[in-house]
Amino acid sequence: MNKGVLFVVSAPSGAGKTSLVRELRASLEGFTVSVSHTTRPVRAGERHGQDYFFIDHAGFERMIDEGAFLEHAKVFDNYYGTARATVETALTEGHDVLLEIDWQGARQIKALMPETVGIFILPPSREALESRLRGRGQDDESTIARRMRDAIAEMSHYNEYDYLIINDHFETALEELRAVVIAQRLQAHRQSARWSGLIANLLG
């Protein structure tokens, strides 16, 4: 069976990563989006097991000790992590996997799985990023200031990724994200495995 492709998508908070990935999932079949574990509080509209697996700090740290994560990091005083078993099983079964993680997690995974395809999403400007953060209406001034500092630090790692997408116009960014996924699926070695019968017939 043709092994699946592991995609990691990273972006600073407010760059639109979650919305882009949601629309990608709705418009393109054939891959699994791995749901991460986190200790941060549930936000309005989020669902356990769909957006994240929400667990407490003690439970998360227990999973770390058990070696249950492919990667994990502490961001904004909360843990985020990707369960190893979920990803490895999906890839082995031939499913593509899409992870939404920060640069720390992406670096950990890339070290373990060099064939991972990394995609980084940037906002069109600092002003646009701050406007998006304020538009959420969830944070006070000190929190927004901290998120902006952390966003700048996050963006400095863009060159560790294979692809860079600027989310200025949403539909354009979505098309570019979709193009990356499709291009990876159309690589010759993957297509030759998927269409081995057809190729044998054509060349026979």
Tens digits of residue pLDDT in 46-98 = 999 888 999 999 999 999 999 899 999 887 789 999 998 889 989 998 899 99
Please report the pLDDT score of residue 1 as a whole number.
63
Q: Calculate the average pLDDT of the chain.
A: 91
Burial of 95 (0-12, 13-18, 19+ CB in 10 A): middle
- Please give the CATH superfamily to which domain 6-34+95-203 belongs: P-loop containing nucleotide triphosphate hydrolases (3.40.50.300)
Please report the pLDDT score of residue 68 as a whole number.
92
The domain limits of the chain are 6-34+95-203
pLDDT range class, residue 36, cuts 50, 70, 90:
confident
pLDDT range class, residue 2, cuts 50, 70, 90:
confident
Instruction: Give Cβ neighbours of residue 120 (< 8 Å, ≥ 6 apart).
Output: 9, 10, 11, 157, 158, 160, 161, 163, 164, 165
Q: Where are the alpha helices (DSSP H) in 46-194?
A: 57-65, 84-92, 103-112, 126-135, 141-155, 170-185, 188-194
* In the predicted structure, residue 136 carries a pLDDT above the cut 70: no
**Percentage of the residues of the chain whose pLDDT score is greater than 90:** 61
> Which of 121, 125, 143, 122 has its CA nearest to residue 134?
143
The highest-confidence range among 130-139, 141-150, 178-187, by mean pLDDT, is 178-187
Between 177 and 127, residue with greater pLDDT: 177
Give SS3 for 195.
Answer: coil
CA dist., res. 191 & res. 204, Å (int): 18
Output the pTM of the full model. Answer: 0.82
* In the predicted structure, residue 5 carries a pLDDT above the cut 70: yes
Across 125-143, b (16+ Cβ under 10 Å) vs e yields eeeebbebbeeeeeeeeee
pLDDT range class, residue 32, cuts 50, 70, 90:
confident
Cα–Cα separations (whole angstroms), residue 1 to 61, 93, 125, 188, 193: 35, 7, 43, 15, 8
CA dist., res. 119 & res. 7, Å (int): 7
pLDDT range class, residue 141, cuts 50, 70, 90:
confident
* In the predicted structure, residue 138 carries a pLDDT above the cut 90: no
CA dist., res. 104 & res. 82, Å (int): 12
> Which of 43, 61, 47 has its CA nearest to residue 139?
43
* In the predicted structure, residue 144 carries a pLDDT above the cut 90: no
Instruction: Please give the structure tokens belonging to residue 172.
Output: 């354009």
* Residues 194 and 96 sit within 8 Å (Cβ to Cβ): no
